[in-house]
Amino acid sequence: MKRSMWVCVAVVLALLAGCSQPLGAPAGLGEPDPSLAPEGLAMGMGAVDTSSRGTLSPEAVEARALGYVAGIDVSYYQGAIDWKAVYAAGKRFAFARVSYGTNTVDSRFAANWPAMKAAGIIRGAYQFFRPSQDAAAQANLFLSKLGKLEAGDLPAVIDVEVTEGVAGSVIVSKVRTWVNIVKAATGKMPIIYTSPGFWNSLPGTSVLSDCTLWVAHWGVSSPSLPSAWSSWKFWQYSDSGSVSGISGAVDLDWFNGDLTALKLFASTKVAVYEAPFTRSLRLASPIMTGRDVTLLQTLLNDWAKATGRAPIAADGVFGNGTSSLVKTFQGARGLLADGIAGPATQAELVRVFTSLTTYYTPYTRTLRRTSPTMYGNDVKAFQTAYNVWARLKGQPTLVVDGYFGLASENAALRFQGAETRLLGAPDGIAGKMTQRLLFVRSWK
């Protein structure tokens, strides 16, 4: 979403440097220069392929658009927008920027987000991803500003188009972290915005092929695809559109399908697993193994002990014994007793484990700030478990010193504040439920 001011700056700099590269494809893949753009780059200023850029006639653009739905993406660069006029101009979806990494919350997002919906536009939100920053911190900022997705909202978008000097393998790993956090919070698989030229320079991107592709490729009759995908869902085909209700240029996009398909896509959710589970567990060939199976068995055994049933070996192998105990748990809790520990079973198991009224090893007491200060290995266990969770969530960590002082109380408040669904109102006291749920969330 380049504005004329930035274009002028870029042209002047190019002339001074004797640069012969096409505008929009600067050296270094367009990494941001904070001195030129105090709120960071707009979408597409770093990633977009321009190697085959040309000038399309309006007729060619319209012909290519047959069977597609027209939309736009915006940020503070567009200023105040008349969204009703945008809708009247035929745009049926739009994405608005939430932030530039953790540096800057987009100053227009708070106004754009409700206004898009009020105008009847199917809305989505994106974050310009900064590889040099913590992925979890960026994801959590994005979620805090976005709030809860409502019915009909599009999945969240991560805009991946700069390296900032970070190794490609690290970028891919950080994007996966962002995707996992946002998927778990929203219940929808996020969309990745990128270009083929940028994306194909990164190694090991197949691990992100489960995400939806929004490809950026301007001025061509059909976009090239990044290596991880065989099709595109959204295509940003221009950075210089003119749309009623918006002063100046704006990015133009297509959705690959008709309006019915777009509405269906916006309404589709993915199975959200209860953290730290990331898959359904069942009898399978080859047999399922892993730390997640061990956690499942551990939680089942605690429930079995509390209800007078025989435990199973917590060996990380999903065999007949585990399947049988899963069926027993499901039947006792009113779930479909199919022996498959999917999202619903995992969620109920975590809820039951959290609510059991006994202390769970190594805890034997409730931890709170007192005088004299509580001290012991159980406090160290709490601090260690909290730090695992904190690193996953981009929260401050603790010094593991065994003292339950103000820092530990604040840590308990932060954890409880993120888990009000199961723990209720935060109080800073690490009692049985907090201890039990922290055990689950810090499992690795």
Catalytically active residues, by annotation: 73, 159, 161
Transcribe 34-61 into DSSP letters. Answer: TTT-TT-PPTTTTT-B-TT-----HHHH
With tokens 């061509």, the residue in question is 220
Q: CB atoms < 10 A from the CB of 12, how many? A: 10
Q: Are 202 and 171 in contact (CB under 8 A)?
A: yes
Name the DSSP letter for residue 22. Answer: P
Q: What distance in Å separates the CA atoms of residue 29 and residue 44, rounded to the nearest whole number? A: 11
- 318 and 340 in contact (C-beta within 8 Å)? no
- What would the two tokens of residue 295 be? 């956690």
3-state SS assignment for residue 396: coil
- Mutual angle of helices 135-146 and 377-393, in 10-degree steps: 70
Residue 15, Cβ density class (10 Å: 0-12 exposed, 13-18 middle, ≥19 buried): exposed
At what angle are helices 320-332 and 343-355 packed, to 10 degrees? 70
The SS3 call for residue 189 is coil
Cβ partners under 8 Å of residue 125, min gap 6: 95, 96, 97, 98, 109, 113, 142, 146, 154, 156, 157
What are the C-alpha distances in Å from 414 to residues 141, 409, 411, 428? Answer: 15, 9, 5, 8
Closest CA to 131 of 270, 7, 11, 28: 28
Beta bridge partners of 367: 430
Proportion of the chain in helix, strand, coil states, percent, rounded to 5: 40, 15, 45
332 φ, ψ (degrees, to nearest 5): -70, -25
Q: Is there a cis peptide before residue 426, judged by omega within 30 degrees of 0?
A: no
H helix and E strand count, the chain:
15, 9
Neighbouring residues of 170: CB distance < 8 A, sequence distance ≥ 6: 131
Tokens of 221: 């009759």
CA angle 46, 43, 121 (to 5 degrees): 160
